[in-house]
Structure 1
Amino acid sequence: MDATELRELLSLEGLRLLDSLPQWDSAADVVRTVSALRREGHPPARVAAALAQSRLRSRAETKFGPFAERMLFTEAGLEQATRLSVAAQHAGRFQRAGIGWVADLGCGIGADAMALASLDIEVTAVERDEVTAAVAAYNLAPWSNARVEHGTAEEADLAGIGGVYLDPARRDGVKRLANPADWSPSLDFAFDLATRLPTGVKLGPGIDRDLIPDDAEAQWVSVDRDVVELGLWFGAVARAGIRRSALVIGSHGVAELSAERDSEDEPVGTLGEYVYEPDGAVIRARLIGDLARSLGGRMLSPTIAYLTADTAVQTPFASAFRVVEEFPLDKRTLKKELAAREIGTLEIKKRGVDIDPATFRSSLGLAGSESATLILTRVGERRRALLAERVG
């Protein structure tokens, strides 16, 4: 979105048009819709801006739920925005620490600032991009305790601020920036702030772990089994005795596995009746061993993140499968066995073997009304195929 498009949207007529549009339907005839709106007298630029925003609002529902209906978005801002369920967890840290005024440096479209403001925390949200700052100001307008400043994190006035939250920009347009010194603000700037103020830093979950300071609490977060971020927490917003944690958000609610350090893996053991696939946040946090012990389980192979156990245990930290049968990882054998069981729908999961699941599935000639899961992996040092069914 550019400044001209934003001006169209923020006009009284633009907002009325946007709110009058039906829910976005990707299958609808856009040309017909545009023609109808033009016949009603709306200028082309306003129609284009409103329809683009309607599409973004529809996409935003997965992150913001019903709040998306009253927000504005940019394409990049929506992609990078914190999910509201995760932002609420961030804000709760500052609230529990008793911090009454937070600077959100690099606030984007304002997701984290919204969560902070909703807990009656004073928020100064700073954004370097002028259009994005204007969008954030619109989104934060319902909260009198939040204000948006157009500027850089490095130049923000932090006098009186009680805590800081940063989400460094890690892209230059569409290009991903590999060097943390090139981020905006840089990682060094963020870590320097953390020596002076309670600080939270949002990073990508795949960051080089060697960059994580020893005094940081590192929390990997997943939503519906998708690992969405790594949060580093310092000072009063970090918890004593915790350096590694996996926060898992899903239909079960919110659950957390935490520890003072990376956990030691359990030894490799024999294949049990059940196989567990740890949540990605647990894997990233290197807490697989602690999870295995909570399940009474063991590793399937030394370097593969599958666990096995003899009993079924409901856990938010892993998906569970009951092993129906074990086969050699041989295509001809599997094709015969799946045909005999009339399996036509097959979920394929794999770790530790160099196989493309889509290509492998198409080679099996599946037909039939039954469904199953096939886990392609190593049991000890052997390449195996585990026919299984989901149990949790």
Structure 2
Amino acid sequence: MDLEVFRELLTPAGQRVLLAAAALGPTEAGFLACFEKLRKHSPPALAKAALDTVLLRQRAKAKFAAADRMYFTREALEQASGDAVARYRAARLAPFGTVADLCCGIGGDTVAFAAAGLTVHAIELDPLRAAMAAANAAVLGVAERVTVHEADALTVPLPDVRAAFADPNRRSDGKRHLDPEAYAPSLSALRGRFPTGFPIGVKIAPGVNRGDVSALDAEAEFLSVGGEMKECVLWLGPLRSAAWRATVLPAGATLSAAGEPPPTGAPTEVGEYVYDPDPAVVRAGLTGVLAEQLDLSPFDWQVATLTGPEVVRSPFVTAYRVEHSDRFHAGQLRDYLREHGVGRVTMVKRGSMLDADEVTRRLKLSGSEHRVVILTRVAGEQAVIVGNRVQ
């Protein structure tokens, strides 16, 4: 939709069309049929905008608890962090009182900052996204703490703020960029807008080259939600409290290193239990720190999975009790699983060159039991570990 249609959607008449669109229960596959029904009583552009909004709200529920009241564009929703990360980030910025949210998009972080008590100056170049950010602040009840500026983050006169956060565009020409200098705006351009030592947070791709980060005087915080890697944030100035950090949400547990993290110790044999580190820990290079903290060891130089003789409880790992481990041989694995009545498996691939789907097809199981099958490497060779997740 364009800005004019969005403004029409916000009117009482537009809201009635939006309610009618929601009542149709549209799906991607049934969009055209719903559109034909809705356009009989509404302008076509408004009908399409209403249906698009309903579908985007459905998709956004995985990220935002209040998705049913918010407004999105497809691209902005993909880029938005979601509630869990935004709330955590707001807590880090809350002591500063007033913050600039640069490249704010539809305002996902903006509303979280305001809900945490911050006064927010949200800056967004795209007119439609800026209007959506203002609308989202209004429907979520934080508009009195939010000022939206439709402007270029690199040229707008900066308001009087004590800290800043930026979510630059990491895509162009259909490509995702890992180098922060390829973002729009670039990391150096964003830093150049503020005095040296100013507290700034910048969202970057979690696949960023560690060497690029090491060259900066910044904290790189890798964040996961529910065991899924989400993003990395560079914290600069007083916001820097470590060199590398892994944070797992919603638990809020955090692991850090003040300097370059140590490697894991020497590999050992697979023990009674194996532990799969959270992806945030792995991306932050903190597997060695975690292994030392939990008294665990790797079983291969090239695999982040750890092992130990006893059960260890930690928000940073998923634990599995080992029932069987051996070099990988499809026939032997199939025989073992059939002997134990296994008909369902959950495949976990860690450092293996094998195709997990192909292995599953070749097993041809029919029992009633369930097992976790970890395809991995042990002492440099393709291996398999069979077990169950520790609850």
**Which letter maps to 1:237?**
L
Q: 1:322 to 1:215 in 2, by over 3 A?
A: same
Shift of 1:263: 2.8
- Structure 1, residues 203-235: CA drift from partner, whole Å, max 9, x if none? 111111122244211110000111111111112
- Point out where structure 2 has 5 or more consecutive residues left out of the alignment: none
Q: 1:107 aligns with which of 104, 107, 112?
A: 104
Shift of 1:190: 2.6
Shift of 1:336: 1.7
Does the CA-based 8 Å contact 1:125-1:146 persist in structure 2? yes
**Which letter maps to 1:257?**
L
Question: How far apart are the structure 2 equivalents of 1:375 and 1:154?
Answer: 48
1:89 lines up with 2:88 in the alignment:
yes
**Which letter maps to 2:116?**
L
Q: 2:219 aligns with which of 217, 223, 242?
A: 217
Does the CA-based 8 Å contact 2:356-2:375 persist in structure 1? no
Q: 1:107 to 1:194 in 2, by over 3 A?
A: farther
- Output aligned runs, 1:59-98, within 5 Å: 59-65=59-65, 67-96=66-95
- Structure 1, residues 142-173: CA drift from partner, whole Å, max 9, x if none? 32121111111101222422111111111125
Shift of 1:33: 3.5
Residue number in structure 1 paired with 2:175: 175
Q: 1:23 to 1:162 in 2, by over 3 A?
A: farther
Aligned partner of residue 301 in structure 1, secondary structure:
coil
- Output aligned runs, 1:245-260, within 5 Å: 245-250=245-250, 253-260=251-258
Q: 1:387 to 1:303 in 2, by over 3 A?
A: same
Residue number in structure 1 paired with 2:240: 238
Aligned partner of residue 81 in structure 2, secondary structure:
coil
Aligned partner of residue 305 in structure 1, secondary structure:
coil
Residue number in structure 1 paired with 2:147: 147
What is the TM-score when the length of structure 1 is the normalising length?
0.92
Q: 1:63 to 1:304 in 2, by over 3 A?
A: same
* Alignment RMSD (CA, Å): 2.0
Q: 1:28 to 1:181 in 2, by over 3 A?
A: closer
Does the CA-based 8 Å contact 2:26-2:34 persist in structure 1? no
Does the CA-based 8 Å contact 2:220-2:233 persist in structure 1? yes
**Which letter maps to 1:55?**
L
- Output aligned runs, 1:116-195, within 5 Å: 116-141=113-138, 142=141, 143-172=143-172, 174-177=174-177, 179-192=179-192, 193=194, 195=196
Question: How far apart are the structure 2 equivalents of 1:306 and 1:194?
Answer: 42
1:206 lines up with 2:207 in the alignment:
yes
Q: 1:25 to 1:37 in 2, by over 3 A?
A: closer
Question: How far apart are the structure 2 equivalents of 1:386 and 1:23?
Answer: 49
Does the CA-based 8 Å contact 1:8-1:49 persist in structure 2? no
Shift of 1:381: 2.6
- Point out where structure 1 has 5 or more consecutive residues left out of the alignment: none
Residue number in structure 2 paired with 1:361: 360
- Output aligned runs, 1:315-334, within 5 Å: 315-334=314-333
Residue number in structure 1 paired with 2:281: 282
- Output aligned runs, 1:35-54, within 5 Å: 35-39=36-40, 41-54=41-54
**Which letter maps to 1:206?**
G
- Structure 1, residues 113-143: CA drift from partner, whole Å, max 9, x if none? 1111112221111111111111111112232
1:352 lines up with 2:351 in the alignment:
yes
Does the CA-based 8 Å contact 1:295-1:309 persist in structure 2? no
Does the CA-based 8 Å contact 1:24-1:58 persist in structure 2? no
Does the CA-based 8 Å contact 2:179-2:208 persist in structure 1? no
**Which letter maps to 1:116?**
F
Task: Please identify runs of 4+ aligned residues in structure 1 that moved more than 6 A.
Answer: none
Shift of 1:6: 2.0
Shift of 1:45: 2.1
Aligned partner of residue 149 in structure 1, secondary structure:
strand
- Output aligned runs, 1:298-317, within 5 Å: 298-317=297-316
Residue number in structure 1 paired with 2:228: 226
Does the CA-based 8 Å contact 2:121-2:159 persist in structure 1? no
Question: How far apart are the structure 1 equivalents of 2:324 and 2:178?
Answer: 44
Alignment length, in residue pairs? 384
Does the CA-based 8 Å contact 1:166-1:202 persist in structure 2? yes
Does the CA-based 8 Å contact 2:273-2:311 persist in structure 1? yes
Does the CA-based 8 Å contact 1:140-1:147 persist in structure 2? no
Does the CA-based 8 Å contact 1:8-1:45 persist in structure 2? no
Shift of 1:342: 2.4
**Which letter maps to 1:259?**
A
- Output aligned runs, 1:363-382, within 5 Å: 363-382=362-381
Does the CA-based 8 Å contact 1:9-1:46 persist in structure 2? yes
- Structure 1, residues 53-98: CA drift from partner, whole Å, max 9, x if none? 0010111111111x112110000111001111111111111213xx
Q: 1:319 to 1:72 in 2, by over 3 A?
A: same
